Amino acid sequence: MPEITEAEKASLDELRRRYLYHRTAGDLLEGTVLLLVVSPLLAVAGFYDPPFMIKAEPSVDLVLNDGEEVLRGRIDVLVLQNQFWVMVVESKKTALSVVSALPQALAYLMANPYPSKPVCGMVTNGDDILFVKLSQEGTPQYDLSRVFTLFTSARELYSVLQILKKIGQVKLS
């Protein structure tokens, strides 16, 4: 994995501190997660710089019935170079697991305009981050990373940044 600098670690430590501070007030909506986690993380990883371009996609409703209540949320997608999707999952009432967004994430990844190339996605609800990689050659197959949890330690974000930097290097080549 690519190394991360002390300056990057400091940025991630600040990102985590801010997130935990705001999270103490309760569940966060997707706009807040985008501001506090996703946007700063993508900036540190270099995804706002050439050759990457960001494109907002229309929001998609996510409705899950767990037997006791209907959970509602939205998946917002940022597409970077049509090969890396970032999805933010949130719910106004109950925090959804990032895994619950996997079917929708896979649907977005399957719709990529370059099916001969593997594509990656990052799904987050703010608390957790999960990476997905999809290959469509032959029989479509996907792999998942472990779930990275912002509450655990700053090292979790360091690993996330290393993965993002690795994805960025692959997309550059």
Q: Cα separation of 118 and 163, whole Å?
A: 15
The Cβ of residue 46 has, within 10 Å, a number of other Cβ atoms equal to: 15
The stretches in the chain having pLDDT less than 70 are: 56-77, 79, 82, 87-95, 171-173
Which residue shows structure tokens 């594509």? 119
Q: Cα separation of 152 and 79, whole Å?
A: 28
Q: Output the pLDDT for position 59.
A: 58
6: Cβ–Cβ under 8 A, 6 or more apart, which residues?
A: none
Task: Express each pLDDT in 24-73 by its tens digit.
Answer: 998 888 788 889 998 999 999 998 888 888 876 665 555 555 565 555 55
Contact 64, 100 (CB under 8 A): yes
Q: Cα separation of 50 and 57, whole Å?
A: 20
